[in-house]
A and B are shown apart, each in its own frame.
Chain A
């Protein structure tokens, strides 16, 4: 451990940083959660003026590390040294006042508040009783300077995901961030915004700022970062300089021997049957805040094919998927399943008729984290109508644990003690078992690292090819859409704006339609 840190030392003395002291140093940082050591004696130096990428598979401890730096988690052991001074960070407010600001994958800004209200909360120079309008001018000026168009008085729920992330970044700038912690903050942005962001990050670092960048897109990290640190199971697996970093080296550090399985080649194209399993006709569905999120969508899925729905988050995919699963009322239009009108049927009906469902945020909406793996499987209506046959369920659970390599002490372990990736595996294993006809999924691998995500996609496609199951998969990850789909439908502002056979689809065209 210490040896690794020492070995890595020379790479930090590359010319641009020569003579500079680290702005943030971690020494022996350890954080334990029930059943896991999320961070195990981490040593890390971060230098001013650099973009420092933090990579690692799911559950490696990346988020925990930046949450420690942002004062959300208090480490059990170890020391945080900021500008040469040992510092205790007991809250984000503490971190903000030392110039550390975090932006994470899910926007922290609050929907019911205005942009200005969200931003002023962290600005210490304003006392508690000033009117929020006092910051409007500053916000307008600063947003103009960095090229973001944002009205300070607008309520956040009216913004798109991208705009929200822009506000988060703007907020960080206005808070005078010297160290910007980006935890998958850019990962889900549309490609054009992403490029703008990376340019901004580079510029921020070149002007002397410091960025800690977490992403599971290794190429992006290699593109923009000066330094790369790979975490594995809570420990530092290695430090790399940009010049010496190759994709193979990074993957090897991240995944060990599993890195050989990583490929983004398209999975084999299915040969669908002529009959239609799912048909959606002129569907209109409301969003959470009034207004139609789905506006006249029509589509169909043939037996034994994967229809991928590409789109930037917040363009109605969630509502469409929920309407199909009968979790959201249909205002107008029809949903047909195997030739039968299910527009007024219940989720229960779908679940006992061969439909599997992988929702977004699976740990929240897909499993009950307080219950065991066995119980999370038994709860599905296919198993729990009448009397539950626990012996059979246990047998099935053990089989799935083996098949999907779910890391768990036992089938009776509460799901909340598993890592995010393993929670996801429990869900996918269960849903693929009940999806004898149709699988409905939204971002099925969003939370997973490369190796696990690819494995899940292979398993899904396998099932489609072998058992003639149909699948409709909405995803914000284009790599995923391209890898798994047989046909790709692009969704934008509640409408389907194009459908393409996946083997002929052009990435640029689809990206363009997504943000048009």
Chain B
């Protein structure tokens, strides 16, 4: 029995870390008021980039790094256009999502061709040499770090101010654009690393569309935990287990496989309800100006 618990903890470590990083990055960005509907597209692109770079260079660190940089660029772009121009966050996000899907195919397919022709993919094995322990350590360290940043520091206050009321934040001395660039850049860097972990440590295969839908799950994880870096650990773990073992669970309880696929989302709704009926509600409420267009000279009635 202890053996199976250990193998269980090792088994979910990679998908847990991937989900955790993507969800916490997403939450950080949204705290600053930028609605992030591009996450699934950029996650999918991050997966393809990590795969391609790994095939080309056979270096896991380099693949992770490039995925992070590419994703961060998208974060900066989204923050810039939605803050500087009166563009709908929804339209900007969804367009970027489709852009991400397209680019992912463009980046991944040539590398996939190379792989078919015999090039191999550098991966990272959670079970080897206690790597999985580091996965958990990284997740917890990021959790504490982001929590401290958002809740305790000056820039954290500025991020929350920009998300609550950008016009007031500006009047209080915040440079809303700079703060949103920071939150979105860092947020998407984390999403990019999450995508790399997903590809190189969890699935370790690539075909067109790999990673699609997992960005949305990260979105749901973040939402269900009220974007809170510590609570996201719990949500990410639940989703990781459900993703890894959904077919097993479905088999044990004799459920159709499609019901198995639905389980993570049922869990998301349940988690949201649980958080929202507790006193945590206030801390976990969405930023008031999330997704709202911000004109600097608009009449503030």
Contact = CB atoms under 8 A, between A and B. Distances in A.
B157 A121 contact: yes
Contact of A126 (B154, B160, B164): B154
Contacts of A93: 173-175
Nearest to B288: A112
A128 B171 contact: no
B258 interface: no
A505 interface: no
A111 B158 contact: no
A363 B300 CA distance: 10
Contact of B161 (A110, A127, A364): A110
Nearest to A364: B301
A305 interface: no
Interface in A86-105: 91-93, 96, 102, 104
Interface string B136-152: 00000000000001001
A110 B170 CA distance: 11
A129 B282 contact: no
A416 interface: yes
Contacts of B153: 128-132
Contact of A110 (B155, B165, B296): B165
Given A113-B157, A120-B157, A108 B172 contact: yes
Interface string A21-37: 00000000000010000
A121 B160 contact: no
A292 interface: no
B301 A102 contact: no
Contact of A121 (B154, B285, B296, B297): B154
B161 A113 contact: yes
Interface centre among A73, A108, A122, A131 (most CB of B within 10 A): A108
Interface centre among B153, B156, B285, B299 (most CB of A within 10 A): B153
Interface in A196-244: none
A40 B171 CA distance: 24
Given A113-B164, A128-B154, A130-B153, A121 B301 contact: no
Contact of B160 (A96, A104, A113, A127): A113
Contacts of B203: none
B169 A110 contact: yes
Contacts of A92: 170-173
A109 B158 contact: no
A123 B164 CA distance: 20
Nearest to B164: A110
A124 B175 CA distance: 12
Contacts of B172: 92, 108-110, 118, 121-122, 171
A279 interface: no
B168 interface: yes
Given A111-B164, A113-B161, A121 B299 contact: no
A79 interface: no
Interface centre among B149, B165, B171, B297 (most CB of A within 10 A): B171
A124 to B, nearest CB: 8
Contact of B154 (A96, A132, A175, A416): A132
A128 B155 contact: yes
Which label, helix, strand, loop or mixed, suits the secondary structure of the B interface? Answer: helix
A72 B171 contact: yes
Contacts of B175: 91, 93
B27 to A, nearest CB: 15
B218 to A, nearest CB: 24
B136 to A, nearest CB: 26
A81 interface: no
A112 B164 contact: yes
A393 interface: no
A121 B165 contact: no
Contacts of B299: 33, 363, 416
B238 to A, nearest CB: 27
Interface in A50-75: 70, 72-74
A109 B296 contact: no
A375 interface: no
A72 B168 CA distance: 10
Contact of A108 (B149, B156, B171): B171
Interface string A158-189: 00000000000001000100000000000000
Contacts of A111: 164
Contacts of B288: 112
Contacts of B171: 70, 72, 92, 102, 104, 108
A128 B157 CA distance: 10
A194 to B, nearest CB: 23
A513 interface: no
A252 interface: no
Nearest to B300: A106
Contacts of B174: 93, 121
A77 B164 CA distance: 32
Given A72-B296, A73-B297, A112-B164, A130 B173 contact: no
Contact of A363 (B165, B173, B301): B301
A363 to B, nearest CB: 4
Interface centre among A110, A133, A290, A416 (most CB of B within 10 A): A110
A361 interface: yes
B170 A131 contact: no
B158 A72 contact: no
A126 B156 CA distance: 13
A104 B156 CA distance: 25
Nearest to A447: B301
Given A110-B169, A113-B157, 20 more contacts: A72-B170, A72-B297, A91-B170, A92-B172, A108-B168, A111-B164, A118-B161, A120-B157, A124-B173, A128-B154, A129-B153, A130-B153, A132-B152, A132-B156, A175-B173, A290-B282, A363-B299, A363-B301, A364-B301, A416-B299
27 contacts: A70-B171, A72-B171, A72-B297, A93-B173, A96-B173, A102-B171, A108-B168, A108-B171, A109-B172, A110-B160, A110-B172, A112-B160, A112-B282, A120-B154, A120-B157, A121-B173, A121-B174, A122-B172, A122-B173, A123-B173, A128-B155, A129-B149, A129-B153, A132-B152, A132-B153, A361-B301, A369-B301
